[in-house]
Amino acid sequence: MKITLAVLNSGNTAWIIVATILVLLMTIPGLALFYGGLVRKKNILSIIMQCFILTGVISILWFAFGYSWVFGTAFMDSGNPLGFFIGGFDKLFLHGITIDTLNPLGGDIPEILFALFQCMFAIITPALIIGAFAERVKFSGYLLFIVIWSVLVYNPLAHWVWGGGWIGSMGALDFAGGTVVHINAGISALVMALLIGKRKNYKPGHPTATNSVPYVFMGAAFLWLGWIGFNAGSGLAADGLAANAFLVTHVATAVALVTWVALEWIRDKKATIIGASTAAVAGLVAITPAAGTVDILGAMVIGFASSFICFFMVAVVKPKLKYDDSLDAFGVHGIGGIVGSVLVGVFATQTVTGPDGAQGALYGDWHQLGVQIIATAFTIAYSAILTLIIFLVVDKIVGIRVSSRVEEEGLDIYEHGETAYN
């Protein structure tokens, strides 16, 4: 019997290096500009700092133990009960991984590159939550919350979906993070917004004056660009699957953008840059879990559905229920992630997944839709419950919300001793 050993593929390696750079671009500067532009000018630096410090802290935690918890195998292989929650401690500080070690999941790229690529997902996921509590949290409380949340919420969920855990094993489709990233962060964002309470002088249905609309546009543009790496890189190869992921990501986002602008035009007789930018992000979010399994038809429907439903949540439901999801982290990421995660169970097609691959209800496999609903529902419940517990603990230890005076005069000067504009 001839045994063929996997060898490094320089083309795939080069592409994933580029994709990793693109995903980092999503957090800094993409999300920092997008969220920073939406808040008032007295709080823009707090948003930038929250994104920036998180990039450093989560990177350290990820390579110290996060990667091992998610993609290690020691506990799972030995039957240790902890293997249900985490993979193991066998890859702490990338122990045993050299520059010649190939990724066991991808085969022909270095494992250190795969770990770095996944690090960017671990960074941006908690960063998305910032949009729910912007302009009213202490830096110390924020930092402690994010650290604990990443360890107890992100890492186990990523293990269950991508690291060989039970959600992935039951056949749930999540190509690039519908459950792990967007539903997870979006639901946590809603819980945080409800627990922290509204901003001072917040009036439902009356948007707070934004700091810089051009910043919002630039942030959205960086996110759209970076999302190419986010989705097309998740196949871990420069091949037809990557090309399809790029294609459907772009098409779904384009449809979402046009749909939202049309809805604004019908309702308000004008189209806004903020609305268009928000729409693009909603489309990007929703196509994320489906980018490796749907074709153009699925992309267009997902783009339209995500934009329509997210617009309804942001423009109608939020003012009606009067919760203060400051920058619509729940309305866009939570809802968009749910839409995409469920609809992949409808539109997954063997045209993309291959003759033995998954397919959705539209093509006769209703079981896949049921699996997607179970994965979505569990993610919602797990994120909500753990976020509630972590919030209560952190609030008891260091406090989370700033004082009324700090909130009134701005977080930039009180929390960071700087102002963005002189």
Mind listing the pLDDT tens digit for each residue in 94-145?
Answer: 999 999 999 988 779 999 999 999 999 999 999 999 999 999 999 999 999 9
Mean pLDDT of the chain: 94
Q: What is the pLDDT of residues 211-246, one digit of tens each?
A: 999 999 999 999 999 999 999 999 999 999 999 999
pLDDT > 50? residue 207: yes
What is the structure's pLDDT at 3? 42
For 273, the enclosing helix (H) or strand (E) is helix 273-287
pLDDT tens string 379-415: 999 999 999 999 999 999 999 999 999 999 999 999 9
CA 282/CA 309 separation, integer angstroms: 10
Q: Is 297 exposed, middle or buried (0-12, 13-18, 19+ CB in 10 A)?
A: middle
Please give the share of the chain, as a percent, with pLDDT higher than 90. 89
For the cut 60, the answer to whether the pLDDT of residue 4 exceeds it is no
Segment 154-160 shows an average pLDDT of: 97
pTM summary value: 0.94
Distance CA 267, CA 31 (A): 28
Name the residue with tokens 């920036």.
52
User: Does position 1 have pLDDT exceeding 70, yes or no?
Assistant: no
- pLDDT above 70 coverage of the chain, percent: 98
- Where in the chain are the domains? 10-416
Q: Can you tell me the mean pLDDT for 175-204?
A: 92
Q: pLDDT tens digit string along 317-359?
A: 999 999 999 899 999 999 999 999 999 999 999 999 999 999 9
> What's the CA gap between 172 and 375, in Å, rounded?
7
Angle between helices 213-232 and 10-25 (to 10 degrees): 150
Tokens of 90: 């066998």
CATH pick for 10-416 out of 3.90.650.10, 1.10.10.10, 1.10.3430.10, 1.20.1260.10: 1.10.3430.10
From CA 219, how far away is CA 268, in angstroms rounded?
A: 24
DSSP characters for 221-256? HHHHHHHHHHHHGGGSSSSHHHHHHHHHHHHHHHHH
Taking residues 14-43, what's their average pLDDT?
Answer: 96
pLDDT, tens digit, for every residue of 48-57? Answer: 999 999 999 9
The answer on pLDDT for 39 being more than 70 is yes
Query: Residue range 22-45: average pLDDT?
Result: 96
Contact indicator for 30, 397 with CB cutoff of 8 Å: no
What is the reported pLDDT for 2?
42
CA-based torsion, 236, 240, 246, 251: positive or negative: negative
Which residues lie across from 206 on neighbouring strands? Answer: 203
Token pair 């384009």 is at which residue?
254
